[in-house]
Amino acid sequence: MAVNKELLERYKAMKAAKLAQQGTSEHPKTGFAALSQTQTSTQTTYNSYSQPIPAPTVAPEQNQSPWQTTYIQDSNTTEISNNYNSQFTAPQSFMTPAPMPESTDIFSTPTSAPTSAPAQYQTPIQEQTVKKFALIGYPLEHSMSEYIHLAGFKSMGVNATYEILPTPPEELSDRIKYLRTNGYSGFNVTIPLKLPVTLFLDEIDPSSSVVNAINTVMIDPQTNALRGYNTDAKGFISAIPQDFALYGKTVAILGTGGAARAAITALAQKQVKEISLYTRNIANCIELADYLRKTFPNITFNAYQIDQFKDFSNVNILVNATPIGMSGSAVGYTPAEEDELRTLPNDALVYDVIYNPKKTNLIRLAQKLNLKYINGVDMLVWQAYEAQKIWTGRTPDFKDMKIALLENL
Ligand code: NAP
């Protein structure tokens, strides 16, 4: 197991004491209520337009619990992930479920005041009614969502189940009908259904507009209406320590799929200066860059062929949003070679969105070259955390969720 055992035990003891004070018993690890194309060297540069992006409104940050620092800081927890994450930072995420859009502004901010206190100030009141949640996608054998979500529900005292429901695309319609009519409160969506599911939604949150994919659906208890969200962008950004300034930075993103577009959404919100996209399919990428240029007119977008030599000498943040290096057939490969990484400035950040394995070859190379790095573990937990806020209107315990993931990864 990758988790630092001593810290984990300390954490659990503190948690047990806290819950005992509140009249609730600590959950054992097993106590979860589980139910279970290549074209030649093309480098297209898109210049920025003059119109500025309106400054995004950021909701107040959460209070932080003192023992969060202790857990993340220990050097023996390198397996846990993020070398850069030497200090725990709370997400700049909103405290209320995202409202349905009235405008097309993808950064529209909930106007209502926060309705829930941070998890550490909430008394876990065990609810009598069992809420039902699920994950749909195909295949789902290696999904970690069940562990993360059950730990999150438990941390809030929400009595809930989280079922893994393998759903091939041809069964999507029936599955949606089933979820709508069998008392489910919400569900997550993963590949290959993130786009097809939009056909069945009654409302779509602006959080998904650039990402063009849905990963979280809430079912209205009164009307059974389905509202779709994407929480990957918030997950992506929450994993970056707040003291790493993003404003005015230059970013290189490898890949142009869902994870890449979530990263773009988040980084544009932070007003980076320039984003270079590295792709296999340059024609599609040019189309995407054109769309992004219109959506984010004061950011420069470049499109490069991924299999050409990558010169990152102007890059502050390198993001891998391809599956290269992921467990399975891609494990052991790297989307950027050592000589390419050597072109990065010394203070650059390498962010691999892959969470399994926690240490990809890209991360190993970044480590070898003494670069800052972040893997995809925190992004995965933060996106689930955001989904729980949408579903419950409450704030789960990030650490409980992360530990549950790391214990099972
Ligand atoms: P996706 O939508 O399928 O996009 C994958 C991208 O990678 C595409 O642009 C694809 O290029 C490119 N790509 C795939 N294989 C490649 C190769 N051999 N060489 C060059 N480019 C290649 O997938 P996704 O949802 O973005 O997921 C990408 C990775 O991010 C996965 O490993 C996933 O597990 C991870 N992820 C992590 C989190 C998290 O929370 N940590 C969240 C989402 C995703 P083409 O368009 O040319 O096919």
295-350 pLDDT, tens digit per residue, is 999 999 999 999 999 999 999 999 999 999 999 888 889 999 999 999 999 999 99
pLDDT at 348: 97
- Three-state helix/strand/coil letters over the chain: CCCCHHHHHHHHHHHHHHHHHCCCCCCCHHHCCCCCCCCCCCEEEECCCCCCCCCCCCCCCCCCCHHHHHHHHCHHHHHHCCCCCCCCCCCCCCCCCCCCCCCCCCCCCCCCCCCCCCHHHCCCCCCCCCEEEEEEECCCCCCCHHHHHHHHHHHHCCCEEEEEEECCHHHHHHHHHHHHHCCEEEEEECCCCCCHHHHHCCEECHHHCCCCCCCEEEECCCCCCEEEECCHHHHHHHCCCCCCCCCCCEEEEECCCHHHHHHHHHHHHCCCCEEEEEECCHHHHHHHHHHHHHHCCCCEEEEEECCCCCCCCCCCEEEECCCCCCCCCCCCCCCCCHHHHCCCCCCCEEEECCCCCCCCHHHHHHHHCCCEEECCHHHHHHHHHHHHHHHHCCCCCHHHHHHHHHHHC
Domains located in the chain, CATH noted: 125-230+379-408 (3.40.50.10860), 240-375 (3.40.50.720)
**Binning pLDDT at 50, 70 and 90, where does residue 127 land?**
low
Residue 72 scores a pLDDT above 70: no
**Binning pLDDT at 50, 70 and 90, where does residue 135 land?**
very high
Residue 243 scores a pLDDT above 70: yes
Pocket test for ligand 1, best of 212, 304, 353, 374 (most atoms within 8 A of CB): 353
pLDDT at 399: 98
Task: State in Å: Cα 354 to ligand 1 middle.
Answer: 9
Pocket lining: 355 vs ligand 1, CB cutoff 6 Å: yes
Total-model pTM:
0.76
Residue 258 scores a pLDDT above 50: yes
Q: Is 15 a catalytic residue?
A: no
